[in-house]
Amino acid sequence: MDFSDMGAMWRYVYETDTFEEEVAELWETVRPLYEQLHAYVRRKLREKYGVDKVSADGPIPAHLLDFSDMGAMWRYVYETDTFEEEVAELWETVRPLYEQLHAYVRRKLREKYGVDKVSADGPIPAHLLGDMWAQDWSNVKDLFLPCKNKPSLDIAPALRKQNYTAERMFRVSEEFFTSMGLSPMPEKFWNLSIIEKPKDRAIICHASAWDFCDSKDFRIKQCTDMTMEDFVTVHHEMGHVEYYIQYKDQHIAFRDGANPGFHEAVGDVISLSVVTPKHMVKIGLLPESAGKKDSEVDLNYLMSQALSKVAFLPFGYLIDVWRWNVFRGKISSSHYNCEWWKLRSEVQGVQPPNIRSEEDFDPGAKYHIPANVPYMSYFVSFIIQFQFHRALCTAAGEYDPKNPLAKPLHDCDIYRSKKAGNLFKEMLRLGSSKPWPDVMAVITEGNRRMDASALREYFQPLENWLRKDNKKHGAAMEGIARHKNLMREPRDEVEKETARAPSSSSHSQ
């Protein structure tokens, strides 16, 4: 059939030429109810969120354990008095790479949406980045791939063509681990895991791994679809289970990651090998041609990775920076939203899609904030997974730190490497029985610190290209730190201003 664009094709199934108008009319009908609901929820969240109330709402109030505030209690598990300074240093190490990516993405969005929507040197409107929190830009990666003439690396068509099922995905994932000499999934795993959406009941489909703490029962819950994203997620979740299995003989108190970032890093380090075109060729999900050396394919691959891995870093960092300052009283309740967007602008380089005020409580839209769940562990995991990857790739002979051009880190696949598997196993078995720097040293040849240099090495080819491309197009590099004021005064102040100056305009939330 002849459609003008993809949107027209999607609208066709509704068999009406006025579909857009009808949807707009429906939205205007329900909008007042939505705005009332939104106002109620944000007010309740704001009432709930505060230094005294949050600190008192934990399982044990922080002050009863002799911590100055909740943030100090959260940082304590990292076993260092300088954790706050260390993560700030890690952010400064990766910031130059993020700024190059940000400048490139901002220019591409400006070309797409126009100079009136996206400035040349300021923050990016957050709603243009394909994610509710602008923390993962891969949903709009087609706008940013450098070499659009290259074939897609998406394996979804191959999964469907080869009649993959959820169980087959999980069996392929298990074989990745056993090929390295790691443990297979136990019988209970296969009998009791939920790997497809049940037809007889509703469940929360968010993928998760479970340790039932009896050294025998480990499971995954995932509503698996035949997509590349779910294929990678299966390996990630099984990485958690492999960690459970390896430390199952530790005392129950030590059956956990060495620090809060380790578990996510262990799952992700497997994914760093799984997503390589080289690995997909090995397991028959991409044609042989995809595994041949091609700098343009590499650029597209690295850009796809960066839109997820690099784009996340500032957001992963700033959430707890904001909360730590709330907990210690540096941010008062009358400035929650202003300080939130100041950090979003100065660190992440994004701005809200419309005018905000202190009547809003935008941090509360992120689950971890109203649920009082620490978030810095995700930032840590995104850093140390590349440390683990570099160490395992070196052990596997897939990466030579003395000659990174011959075997680049982003091309490494630790599949079938018993040497990498033995090194990995040695670290995993320790659980949290030793201080995390000791556990880190096992896999990194004695390095006891979190180190972002591996991440920079992984993305070095892309960073080199971004620097050249940004310079070629005259991209402004200082704009990420500029704070554009998109906050208005609270309603009572606006009403006072309106009384004095009738020409003032109001804003619909």
- Checking if the pLDDT of 49 tops 80, the result is no
What is the residue range of 30's domain? 6-36
**Average pLDDT of the segment spanning 433-449:** 96
pLDDT tens figures, 346-364: 999 999 999 999 988 999 9
Q: Let me know if residue 369 belongs to a domain.
A: no
Residue carrying the six token digits 């509503």: 223
**Average pLDDT of the segment spanning 256-278:** 97
Q: Which residues pair with 124 in a beta bridge?
A: 350
* Per-residue pLDDT band at 224 (split at 50, 70, 90): very high
pLDDT tens figures, 104-149: 999 999 999 999 999 999 999 999 999 999 999 999 999 999 999 9
Q: Which residues are marked as active site?
A: 237, 368
Q: Let me know if residue 371 belongs to a domain.
A: no
Q: Let me know if residue 247 belongs to a domain.
A: yes
Give the Cα separation of 285 and 281 in Å (integer): 6
Is 236 annotated to bind ligand?
yes
Give the Cα separation of 237 and 234 in Å (integer): 5
Q: What angle do CA 9, 29, 38 make, to 5 degrees?
A: 100
Give the Cα separation of 137 and 6 in Å (integer): 21
Give the Cα separation of 494 and 8 in Å (integer): 42
Q: Are residues 387 and 250 in the same domain?
A: yes
Is 240 annotated to bind ligand?
yes
Give the Cα separation of 160 and 354 in Å (integer): 41
Q: Higher confidence at residue 483 or residue 500?
A: 483
CA dihedral 220, 226, 229, 235 (to 10 degrees): 40
Q: What is the largest CA-CA distance in the chain?
A: 76
Q: Let me know if residue 313 belongs to a domain.
A: no
- Checking if the pLDDT of 500 tops 80, the result is no
What residues have CB less than 8 Å from 445, skipping those under 6 apart?
Answer: 391
**Average pLDDT of the segment spanning 147-155:** 93
pLDDT in the model for residue 39: 75
Q: Are residues 22 and 169 in the same domain?
A: no
Q: Let me know if residue 493 belongs to a domain.
A: no
Is 89 annotated to bind ligand?
no
Structure tokens given for 347: 């660190």
Mean of all residue pLDDT scores within the chain: 89
**Average pLDDT of the segment spanning 430-442:** 98
Is 389 annotated to bind ligand?
no
Q: Are residues 173 and 29 in the same domain?
A: no
Q: Let me know if residue 212 belongs to a domain.
A: yes
pLDDT tens figures, 178-210: 999 999 999 999 999 999 999 999 998 899 999
Phi, psi (5° rounding) for residue 215?
A: 70, 10
Give the Cα separation of 299 and 397 in Å (integer): 23
pLDDT in the model for residue 370: 86
Contact 335, 49 (CB under 8 A): no
Domain endpoint, select from 435, 450, 467: 467
- Checking if the pLDDT of 481 tops 80, the result is no
